[in-house]
Amino acid sequence: MDKGKYFRRIPKVDILLEEAKKEGLLTKYDRDLVVAGIRQVTDELRSFLGRCEQEQAAERRLDTVMELLKERLEEQDRCRVQRVINGTGTLLHTNLGRSPIGEKHAEYLRHVVTGYSNLEYDLDTGGRGERYSHFEDLVCQITGGEAAVAVNNNAAAVLLILSALVKGKEAIVSRGELVEIGGKFRIPEVMEQSGGILREVGTTNKTRLEDYRAVIGENTGAILKVHTSNYRITGFTESVGIEELAGLGAKFGVPVIEDLGSGVMVDLRAYGLSHEPMVQESIRRGADIVCFSGDKLLGGPQAGIITGKKEYIDKMKRHPLMRAMRIDKFTVTVLEQIFREYRTPSRLDQNLPVFAMLSQSVEQLKEKAVRLADSLHIHEKDAVVQVEPCASQVGGGALPGEVIESFGVTVQGKTITCEELEERLRKGNPPVICRVEKDRIWLDMRTIQEEEIPQAAERMNKIFGDTHL
C-alpha cells in the first residue's frame, strides 16, 4: 500500500471550509469552530492512514471526511450532561444520576419551570408563602410526622439537624454506626462541622441500651441512630432499636434522631427484596426526627427530607444554614409530585421508574433481552451475541450484597476488544453504559427502558459496521 498517495489526497483546510459552507455548517456553527474541527479531523485522518494497511479502508475513510467533520461539530455542540442508557443493572447508579424521574413528572416540571410559579407565594392570601408548604402536609400524612422540610441532600439534612439541635452538646452514637458514605462523607466529621460533640458508645459489633444510658448527662444534646444502609455487620452482633432509644430519650428529655439514608416508604418485600426500615415505622416507634434521601428508594430528585416533631423542625427552619441548603423550584415541583404518588402505593410501579424496574419479572426481562439480541445485526465472525441470566442490584448505598435476578445480552467481540467496545458504546450518541465481565460486555435489561432498546441496538450495529471501514 502506497501510503504517500493517500496522504497527498487529504483535503486542504480551505477546500474543506468551502465544502462546509455549501453544507450549511458555517451558518450553524461559528467559522472558528468549523476551522478547528477541520484541523482535528484531518489530523485524525493522518493518524489513521499512518497505521492503515488496507487500501479499501483508506479509501472509505477519505470519502467520509465531511461526515466525520459533521459528527465532530455535533459532538462539540452537544451539552456535557446527557441522557445515557444504563445497561449496568444498578438501579440507583450514583454516577448516573440515581433515580430517574417519570415522564409524567418531567412534563409537569417543564410546564411549571418554563413560566413563573407560586414557589413562595400563597395563592389563598396573596402574601408571601413558604416553598416547603407545597409538600409538607403530604409528607406528614404519609409518615405521621408533625412537620417536614427538605434540603439539597441527606448529608446536608444530617448537618442541619446536628447544627440546629446539638451544637455545643454531645450526640450519642453507636460505634457500629459511624459510617462513611460516598464522597468521604463521615459521621464523625459531620458532627465536628456542626459544632456537636461525638460521644461514642458500645463496640463495632455490639451496642446495648445500657451503653447509651450510661453516658446520658446534662450535656447530652441528642441520641443519633444511623441506618447502616451501605454495608452489613453479621454474626456476633447486637444493636438497639429505635423504639428502645425513643423510650430512653423521652425519659431524659433528649431528642432521638434517625438517619435512614435511602428513605424507604413502602415494604420492599412486595418487590422480592429484604425489608428495610421505613420512615413511617421510625416515626411510629418514637423517633423525634427522621431524615432520608429523595433520589434513592424514594424515587425522586436529589434532596434530604427531614420530618418529625414540629418543635425541632421549626428550629431547623429558623437556622442560618437553612437558606444555604434550601432546595430550588425544580426540586420542590418534583418532590410534591413524588409524595403525591405515595398516597396510592399500589400504583408506584406505574408512575415511578425505580419501582417499575423492580417490578419487572425475569420472564419479561428475558423477552426484552431476546428483542435486543434479535436487533443486533452482527456477523458471527465479528462477535458472539448471547442472551444470558444475570444479577442486578439496587445500588445507591441501599441493600448491600443483595442481588436481583435479571436477564441481559452479552457481546464478545472478535474483531474488537472488550475494552474498545465498552469505550465506543460509552462515547457514542446516546452513550450506552455497560458492565464488563469475563471478557464480555453485559447489557442488563432491568435498567434499559423499552424505548431505549432500538437505540442500544443501533449503537452496537454502527460500531460493528464501522469495524469494516
Span 8-33, pLDDT tens digits: 888 899 999 999 999 999 999 999 99
CB 312 within 8 A of CB 288: yes
The pLDDT score that the predictor gives to residue 231 is 61
| Long-range contact set of residues 313-317: C-beta below 8 Å, sequence gap at least 24 | 313/145, 313/146, 313/147, 313/148, 313/149, 313/289, 314/147, 315/164, 315/165, 316/149, 316/160, 316/161, 316/164, 316/165, 317/132, 317/149
Q: How far is CA 71 from the centre of its chain?
A: 29
Three cell numbers written together for 200? 461514642
- In the chain, the percentage of residues whose pLDDT exceeds 90 is 73
CB 407 within 8 A of CB 377: no
The pLDDT score that the predictor gives to residue 108 is 97
CATH classification code of 103-347: 3.40.640.10
CB 293 within 8 A of CB 250: no
Give residue for cell 458514605.
Answer: 181
Three cell numbers written together for 267? 415494604
pTM of the model: 0.87
Burial bucket for residue 14 (CB in 10 Å: 0-12, 13-18, 19+): exposed
The pLDDT score that the predictor gives to residue 184 is 66
For strands 220-226 and 256-261, give the pairing. parallel
Which residues of the chain carry a pLDDT beneath 50?
469
Q: Is 173 left (phi over 0), alpha (psi -120 to 50) or beta?
A: beta
93's CB contacts (< 8 A; 6+ apart) are 86, 395, 396, 433, 447
Which candidate, 78, 81, 70, places its Cα nearest to that of 37? 70
The pLDDT score that the predictor gives to residue 466 is 65
Helix (H) or strand (E) holding 342: none
Give residue 435's identity as a one-letter amino acid code: R
The pLDDT score that the predictor gives to residue 469 is 47
Helix (H) or strand (E) holding 21: helix 13-22
For strands 170-174 and 220-226, give the pairing. parallel
CATH classification code of 85-96+357-466: 3.90.1150.180
The C-alpha R_g of the chain, in whole angstroms, comes to: 28
The pLDDT score that the predictor gives to residue 313 is 97
Could you state, in order of their start, the residue ranges of all structural domains in the chain?
A: 3-77, 85-96+357-466, 103-347
The pLDDT score that the predictor gives to residue 229 is 63
The pLDDT score that the predictor gives to residue 211 is 94
CB 278 within 8 A of CB 229: no
Tally of CA atoms within 13 A in the half-sphere of 268 that contains its CB: 20
The pLDDT score that the predictor gives to residue 297 is 94
The pLDDT score that the predictor gives to residue 45 is 87
Total residue count of the chain as it appears in this document: 469
